[in-house]
Amino acid sequence: MMLAMIYVVFLILLIVFLSSNALFYLIYVPANTKNTRDLVKQKFINLIIWVADILSVLRLPFAVIPYLVKVIFYLALRKNFKVVWASNISQSIRIMGDFFNLGISFLFWYCLMPERLLTFLVFAALAEIIRLVLEKGFIIFSVFWQHLPLEDISKRLLILGMKSEWLLYYSRPLSEKTKFIQNTISYFAQDEPRFRYFSRFKILDSSDNLRMGHVREIANGNVFIHKIWVNDPWLSLGICTRRTPWIFDPRYLPRPFYYRSQANRLMTEFVMEYSAVFPPFSFYQFGHEIKSARFELFFKLARRFGVELEQYVQKDGSYFFDPLIINIGYVMGFENKKNDTTIQNDSVAIFETTNKIDQGQKATPAMVAEEYSYPLIYVEEVLWQKIESAKAVNLQKNY
């Protein structure tokens, strides 16, 4: 009976969320104008993330079985795990698995927990329901929306004499929708310098995996997306805000840095700050934070006890998505330990670049940005001046 009530609550909230999303999508499209909306205050952002942290810990009982399944699949697939796990089919199965896990995990812990802890289990289930509705609910709706024939429908309505900003946006071909979103971001950059780090969208094949940091070109500010994503403008705006490479500018986050326990929090705060610009994606981000915040708490707790389990972000901007599984692979011989390619700080880039120049090799800001994974903006505004100063010092020493 209790499990049935859990699923009833879940379905009601999911229907309400999907219906409200549909209503919003049917009424609004992004405004291609300078952003004048009020930003979310920092105190409120801190409150949102604090709530996500609490819910993330609360839902831990519902993360145990999925993680064990993940480990079993890793042991079975070994080196093929990453390819299979990141495939679109696997991601779809994982969404369905999350919905079934709500009931399976509830029954599992219901049978094991003493009666006095059942109230905690109910609250844990509610935390998981909130996560599923906001995160997975948005994904399901966005995929559905992306595949609707909105371009054809809009063109027909325009021919019939109906006019609106909504019809004008969705009647555009994908290439023009992409340009529209890019222009919208450029307007935002007039008020927010972190949007300056975005250059354009780089369209990748739908089979390309956009995970574990392989989501952008840091130096030139290109953000990777799949072509069909621009059919959902709110997803496109949110993805751009989340993945714009300002986080690789040491003025915002000193190097080297961690993804889970450092960069992720800053990028989430940035998305929440501009949540009024893309409300649907901000709900998704909150749901995603409920799932991922536990990693930050776990890594920081381990670090406090002198145990470092998290690796730094790598030179190419990627990171080890699951250190525990990677370490299991090392022990079992499934994974080969790679040379450390941790992202470097300014001193390394300055030293190596000046040495190259002294040896007669060519060096430009663009080359430095590409080699050391800096946004070109930072190299041109800060780092290149440091390199020039180091060159001058070297010349003085030689004379």
Q: How many residues does the chain have?
A: 399
pLDDT of residue 342: 87
**pTM to 2 decimals?**
0.90
| Joined tokens for residue 69 | 């399944």
The tens digit of pLDDT for each residue in 30-42 reads 875 555 455 667 7
pLDDT in tens, 361-392: 888 999 999 999 999 999 999 999 999 888 77
User: Considering all CA atoms of the chain, what is the largest pairwise distance in Å, rounded to the nearest integer?
Assistant: 86
Model confidence pLDDT, tens digit, residues 110-133: 999 888 889 999 999 999 999 999
Query: Domain spans of the chain?
Result: 2-304, 346-398
Please provide the DSSP assignment of 169-227 as one string: HHTS-HHHHHHHHHHHHHHHTTT-GGGGG--EEEEE-TTS---TTTTEETTTTEEEEEG
List the single range of 152-156, 159-163, 282-286 with lowest mean pLDDT. 159-163
Separation in Å, CA 351 to CA 23, 344, 364, 368: 56, 11, 14, 12
Backbone angles phi, psi at 216, to 5 degrees: -160, 165
Report in angstroms the alpha-carbon separations of 24 from 18, 19, 279, 280, 336: 10, 9, 9, 8, 48
The region, left, alpha or beta by phi > 0 then psi within -120 to 50, assigned to residue 333 is left
